Amino acid sequence: MFFVLSKILGFFIHPSNTIAVICAVGVLLLLTRWRRAGAGVLSVGVVALLIVGYSPLGSVLLLTLSERFPPWQYSGRAPDGIIVLGGAIDSEVSAARHSLELDSSAERVMAALELARDYPQARIVYSGGSGNLMQNSVAEAPIAAGLFARFGVAPDRFVVESRSRTTAENASFTRELVSPKPGELWLLVTSAFHMPRSITAFRAAGFDVTAYPVDWRTRGWRDAALPFNRLSSGLARTDVAAHEWAGLLAYRLSGRTTSLLPSP
């Protein structure tokens, strides 16, 4: 039920969707006797569209998350395991086209392949089912297994977790699957902006992992002062940031985690 409600509420969490609804309501009111109210609502929608689309709001919201955990530095100890969170492969299109199709978080897969090469003794877990409510679900992890095999990763090193639909399930199902031993070093590979929610979910599941952020999306805090030159770019970045902030808040309020923003 939590998963279904989160997907429904997720539509309105994205500012671009909310602004579109506001503008649509304004246009509809213009066609009725409440034209003055419609003009006001439409004006609010247009102003919000311009602010969210062109101001650095999206960058500020995203940077607050992505700068939370620094890049991982090798300190002389090789990792015992590498966990890659799903979201890098478009499983529906890949299945339909019989071809691997990566999406905007493809860096997760690329980083994992590099780590698999650099640390040949490390176990690798790809955690990713399907969160699609509208179509027949195609799990992401089995597709990733085929990709890693093509790049020479031995099957006995690779573990598939294909049941999870949320970050909380990524954490709990992965822990059940690998049964980490005390003192082991497990790297968690996911997008930098997604790392705070991932770390707090894994901690809540009792799995101590080390952040390996990738897919940064920004150059750093200097982007917080730069407006966007395209409306769509600002809307897209704000949508990504708002989704993550809403996820962190939902997890905290539902008792799934013990902190809103985890510390490194």
Please report, for residues 57, 60, 91, the alpha-carbon distance to residue 63 in angstroms, rounded to integers and kept in the order given. 10, 5, 28
CA atoms within 13 A on the CB side of 237: 29
* Mean pLDDT along residues 135-161: 90
Q: Is the pLDDT of residue 135 over 90?
A: no
Rounded to two decimals, the pTM is 0.91
Could you tell me if 122 and 116 are in contact, meaning their C-beta atoms sit under 8 angstroms apart? yes
* Mean pLDDT along residues 136-162: 92
Query: What is the overall mean pLDDT for the chain?
Result: 92
Query: What is the pLDDT at residue 48?
Result: 97
* Mean pLDDT along residues 46-61: 97
How are beta strands 186-191 and 158-161 bridged, if at all?
Answer: unpaired
Spatial separation of the C-alpha atoms in residues 183 and 80, rounded to whole Å? 10
Could you tell me if 164 and 127 are in contact, meaning their C-beta atoms sit under 8 angstroms apart? yes
CA atoms within 13 A on the CB side of 227: 9
Q: What is the DSSP letter of 72?
A: P
Query: What is the pLDDT at residue 130?
Result: 78
Please give the share of the chain, as a percent, with pLDDT higher than 70: 93
Please report, for residues 2, 45, 203, the alpha-carbon distance to residue 114 in angstroms, rounded to integers and kept in the order given. 35, 45, 25
Query: What is the pLDDT at residue 132?
Result: 63
Give me the torsion for CA of 68, 71, 74, 75, rounded to 10°. Answer: -30
Question: Which residue from 43, 54, 111 is spatially nearest to 82, judged by alpha carbons?
Answer: 111
Per-residue model confidence as pLDDT tens digits over 65-75: 999 999 999 99
Query: What is the pLDDT at residue 259?
Result: 86
Alpha-carbon radius of gyration of the chain: 20
Could you tell me if 168 and 256 are in contact, meaning their C-beta atoms sit under 8 angstroms apart? yes
Query: What is the pLDDT at residue 12?
Result: 59
Per-residue model confidence as pLDDT tens digits over 155-213: 999 999 999 999 999 999 999 999 999 999 999 999 999 999 999 999 999 999 999 99
Per-residue model confidence as pLDDT tens digits over 81-129: 999 999 999 999 999 999 999 999 999 999 999 999 999 999 999 999 8
* Mean pLDDT along residues 43-60: 97
Ranges of H-type helices in the chain: 2-13, 15-30, 35-54, 57-66, 91-97, 107-118, 141-150, 167-178, 195-204, 231-253
Token duo for residue 252: 């905290």
